[in-house]
A and B are shown apart, each in its own frame.
Chain A
């Protein structure tokens, strides 16, 4: 596709539910990133893949957060047992490595 796509665009979950957020990067981009953006704040790094390898997961806030990119293209961010503090916009970005990161529209997650 022409840009990074993410789905769903909006997700409402009850506290304790598991959610899965999907990211389709720009075709050919080897690097993929997940960021979390709280209201009124800049995005904060969560994790980074180069192809299928997860090279940095230092930003994942707890072991309830898990990301994968099994075939080096599409990535899924999974949040288990969601909590209210997980409510945020989750942004995915991709790049050719060293080039600018291009962002998707994000998934707005609301945990009730």
Chain B
């Protein structure tokens, strides 16, 4: 059975801290790993990682995929209160196109 596991499930830090969110996966016919940010309803796309070892960056956020060890991390530096959200990672299954999501990490940034 395809499975994606995120850790920690919940994280509370102070503004300005750096955080690392973890995602491990066991997905047959794996194609890509995606990260989303969910604040209210709609998950907002952050990154799509297909190749191992290539870091993707967007401002203070960055992510990398390790296809040998089957995990990905999402880093957020100099956190701000607006970064408070649930962060979801998902494995994209080749052919079937569907996403298998983890449970999410609830990140809270305190001022």
Contacts and interface: CB of A to CB of B under 8 A. Distances in A.
B98 A56 contact: yes
B42 A106 contact: yes
Interface of B: 4, 34, 36, 40-45, 48, 88, 90, 96-104
Interface residues of A, number: 28
A1 interface: no
Interface stretch (A13-21, A42-50, A65-73, A78-86): A42-50
B41 A48 contact: no
A3 B32 CA distance: 23
Contacts of B41: 89, 91, 105-106, 108
B42 A103 contact: yes
B45 A102 contact: yes
A42 B97 contact: no
